[in-house]
Chain A
Amino acid sequence: DIQMTQSPSSLSASVGDRVTITCRASQSISSYLNWYQQKPGKAPKVLIFATSSLQSGVPSRFSGSGSGTDFTLTISSLQPEDFATYYCQQSYSNPTFGPGTKVDIK
């Protein structure tokens, strides 16, 4: 299985901050990397698919980049509704998820 890691595991930020989350794969996954947002007690929701494609309805402050083994999710200006846990997921082989990054209020 392809192993996924994320950093940081958690971060504290303020409304309006620029936030960057990093995801690394144990081997090259080309551009087959998706990002999900999960709020407490809710199912995950896709934000970005195929590294950089924004899911319909997702605000443009979310963006993704990378290729091969290293990927980033950026929130350009953090909003109150963005406090959540973010997971990356590779779809190059049987799906595996990163351990998550919890974004909370500073």
Chain B
Amino acid sequence: QVQLVQSGAEVKKPGASVKVSCKASGYTFTTYGISWVRQAPGQGLEWMGWISAYNGNTNYAQNLQGRVTMTTDTSTSTAYMELRSLRSDDTAVYYCARGAIQFRPPLFNWFDPWGQGTLVTVSS
């Protein structure tokens, strides 16, 4: 079955960086894009950006431009999200989510499935 498995919880100090992985299985990795979505404690969902696993094209949310980098390793069917210059308000559960339609960016698309989530805590 299609599955996304994320790396484990992280605790980081303000100003540090974090890199979260998302390993895909059950489908041809390069035919779907991966988005990253985060959820602060008790809050709603925020889309962070998208990467095409086909050609590496990216589209980042404007408020994270310059701090976030999304990459893929097609040899291991793994997507990565790195967030730099961490602040306390970056504390959240970070999810990867596959686009439901092959080769299509998040526009006119939906997210299915999702990874299990990775808690990133930023605290001094």
Residues of chain A at the chain B interface (Cβ within 8 Å): 1, 32, 34, 36, 43-46, 49-50, 55, 87, 89, 91-100
User: How long is the Cα–Cα vector from A1 to B112 in the complex, in angstroms?
Assistant: 22
A1–B106 CA distance with the chains assembled, in angstroms: 14
Residues of B within 8 A of A43 (CB): 95, 97, 113-117
Flag if A46 contacts B47 (CB, 8 Å): no
Task: Kindly identify, within residues 88 to 118 of chain B, every residue whose CB is under 8 Å from any CB belonging to chain A.
Answer: 95, 97, 100, 106-117
Task: Tell yes or no: B82 within 8 A of A by CB.
Answer: no
A56 to B46, CA, bound (A): 25
Q: Judge if B61 is at the interface, Cβ distance under 8 Å.
A: yes
8 nearest A-B residue pairs (beta carbon): A43-B114, A49-B110, A97-B45, A95-B47, A34-B110, A46-B112, A99-B44, A95-B106
Contact B47 A97 (CB under 8 A): yes
* B121 interface contact, C-beta 8 A: no
Among B45, B59, B110, B115, the residue within 8 A (CB) of A94 is B59
B100 contacts A49, CB within 8 Å? Answer: yes
Are B95 and A91 interface neighbours, CB within 8 A?
A: no
Q: Is B78 an interface residue (CB 8 A)?
A: no
Q: Judging by beta carbons under 8 Å apart, are B116 and A46 in contact?
A: no
Complex CA gap A1/B60 in Å reads 13
Residue picked from A87, A92, A93, A94, most chain B C-beta under 10 Å: A94
Q: How far is the CB of A63 from chain B (nearest CB, A)?
A: 16
B72 at the interface (CB under 8 A from A): no
Tell me, in angstroms, the Cα distance from A94 to B35 when the chains sit together. 11
**Cβ–Cβ contact B46 & A97, under 8 A:** yes
Residue pair B114, A32 in contact (C-beta under 8 Å): no
Query: In the complex, which residues 34-57 of chain B have their Cβ closer than 8 Å to any Cβ of chain A?
Result: 35, 44-47
Q: Within the complex, what minimum Cβ distance (angstroms) separates B103 from chain A? A: 15
CB distance from B50 to the nearest CB of A (A): 8
Nearest B-chain residue to A55, judged by Cβ: B112
In the complex, besides A89-B111, A98-B44, 15 extra interface pairs with C-beta distance below 8 angstroms are: A1-B62, A34-B110, A36-B45, A43-B116, A46-B110, A49-B100, A50-B110, A55-B112, A89-B45, A91-B106, A91-B109, A91-B110, A93-B107, A94-B59, A99-B44
